[in-house]
Structure 1
């Protein structure tokens, strides 16, 4: 029996690799002769750099960059074993987690550090960059990122503007004469899991600005700035991407990546599954086990578990889900293509206690589900 273990992290408890180890132990306890393959996964957000770098047999590199407020920090990104592909997360340089709550202010924050990460990768000669853009502290339309790569943003009198959120309203022209020429030699793929447009009531400022510290007045100012940026950038680059699904991701970096980097936006789950060659692994499996900290309605609308469920249905391989919190009904699980779903929690307990026991609980839950699957196969039944 060949079992594939392909989980996401359990946020706050276990990294994806730790979930793999715990599940493997449970499987072999239930069926010592089982062949177990483990593939740690991520959904394009936090942890994606580590997962993709490890999968590529690569290494992490550390770079001095600017944090969202321009202060020097160390940030990591990954390089593949042959150094042709870079894997990076915007959150490493421009993430909300880098700021204290009292520092949240998308009028003043910038994606400049993300551009510095990209520039370092360009200088190392990569041909492909995979960039995850979740968890940002910014709503600057990507102008900070672009400025680090040589773009210059000018107001109506020709004065150079600082590349922060509040400057977007004043942009009258974009000088592209000093853009790093290496940008033309690289393919950039952006992991983008939201479909918001750049501006408007469902845009970057209105939907995500408040969680980054924007009050109602700031939201209006930032939305106006994104509209102005769209007008100037459309004129400069000859294409209007402001309504493209995902343009409003990461405070407008989705649109900025299309304009300034000539990037491609793709679902993070699909990028990770493709990079890890997951379809090939699923085809070989008799059972696939995945998991994450919480399985809810959001999980079924494009997250890792749903992407894996779709793949397993296509390959006609049963999928079992192990999770911390299970908030979907049996009918929803069946409709999503999940053959078996179980929470690892076996009694009421405090969050801290549940997190500390997560490894053991994953091991136990996996033991029970594999025992059930194994006995079902012996009797001619299955999880399908």
Structure 2
């Protein structure tokens, strides 16, 4: 079956340690070709040039361990494109020493890059554990120091799929309906209920407080949240926990033609019950097609109720100083429908094509969970494993979650 991977999980770096993680290398040719440029995704005309022709290395350190299974290397455009790497290895470590403790995940030789070309590689060795440090090393070039314009890294998406057996048929259930926006029309950061907050609020001729993103208005220049920085977050805390599965963002123009550059480009949507530990529920990258007064809608699977949700923006669409957002709404799925009747037993393709990613149609969030044993230890099906558990139909509404470990 075809593997699925995340988008690039390295943020757009603007320095060796901003906005997160740490970039380092064996050295660079000069400050115009500094390390972090290989992880800055703005242009192919720039990048990193190593300090020696053969044997240079460059690495990215994640804040938490990752299992990288796919990566890309891009060549620059322009005169320096002849410096492309002819070969290299991708190695991983949890100490950052690379003195024998590291694991070699992939090695490439005899490469040829054209001007501005991006090459994609799948690791020949799959990491068994998560690693903090990933290093492109032993870089072979010509007589020139090697150049790399961009490096991207991805994890494999591991999916658990569910089908329901009903007699001699298999069924799948999908979302049919969502609530309206669960956030009330706010008139201040604390009224009428809940709490609107942000990493900052720009105060100029027009106020850009957090609550203005929740006032259900789209009055140009008078009803939006804004912050004088290019990264930041906007949050709403419910009086009681809610299970959010969908949100919308509103973009609209201000007093100049630069409004699109103020809008979020890349972000995570997160939930928390203590305002300290945040769980990433949705990730979006390179969203740049904003339209005036048009909402963008995003949906995701979520079976846990959180009190507080935020959009955590790590990049705008190019403005040097500001982020602005016209509106943020949050919804919950409330109705489901059975979408098919498949013959039993299902095939691997049935699971992959029609299986449910989310079993929240089957449970009530207010019931306390309990653990049940699977009927068997697992049956191999193609490249996956089938686990079975018998559910009494009368108990289905009381299922609160499902975890395979």
TM-score, normalised to structure 1, is 0.24
- Pick the structure with more strand per residue: 2
| TM-score normalised by length of structure 2 | 0.24
Q: RCO (CA 8 Å, sep 6+): is it higher in 1 or 2?
A: 1
